[in-house]
Amino acid sequence: MINGYYEWLENEKESRPFFLKNSEGDYLYLACLYNNAFNEKLGDDYNHFVVLTMEASPHISHIHDRMPVILNEKTKKMWLDPTIPF
């Protein structure tokens, strides 16, 4: 759950940040993968975390060609349901 994210418009003229958020002011729920593993060399746990991305929607594709996978209420419940195999 986040309140927004940054994408950078980068071209030969400029490099400019855009803060993208829900137009209704609500939080955004992103599809992420997480794993905890043990590093035998260090003798410690470490975490892996990645945000899944997809092709950008038409209204932001002029800024960047990719965007996070944003979950709605239905897909959020499915994504978090451990009984659903992906």
pLDDT (tens digit per residue) in 9-43 = 888 888 999 999 988 888 999 999 988 888 888 78
pLDDT mean across residues, the chain: 90
Evaluate whether residue 86 is within a structural domain.
no
Name the domain count of the chain: 1
Q: Which of 26-35, 37-46, 47-56, 71-80 has the lowest mean pLDDT?
A: 37-46
Phi, psi of 29 (to 5 degrees): -110, 120
Q: Are strands 44-51 and 32-39 parallel, antiparallel or unpaired?
A: antiparallel
Domain, as residue range, for 26: 5-80
User: What is the predicted pLDDT for the residue at 38?
Assistant: 83
Q: How distant, in Å, are the alpha carbons of 33, 39, 47 from that of 36?
A: 11, 10, 5
Q: How buried is 65 (Cβ within 10 angstroms: 0-12 exposed, 13-18 middle, 19+ buried)?
A: exposed
Cα 54–chain centre separation: 9
* pLDDT at position 3 over 90: yes
Evaluate whether residue 85 is within a structural domain.
no
Q: 25 versus 78: which is more confidently predicted?
A: 78
Evaluate whether residue 19 is within a structural domain.
yes
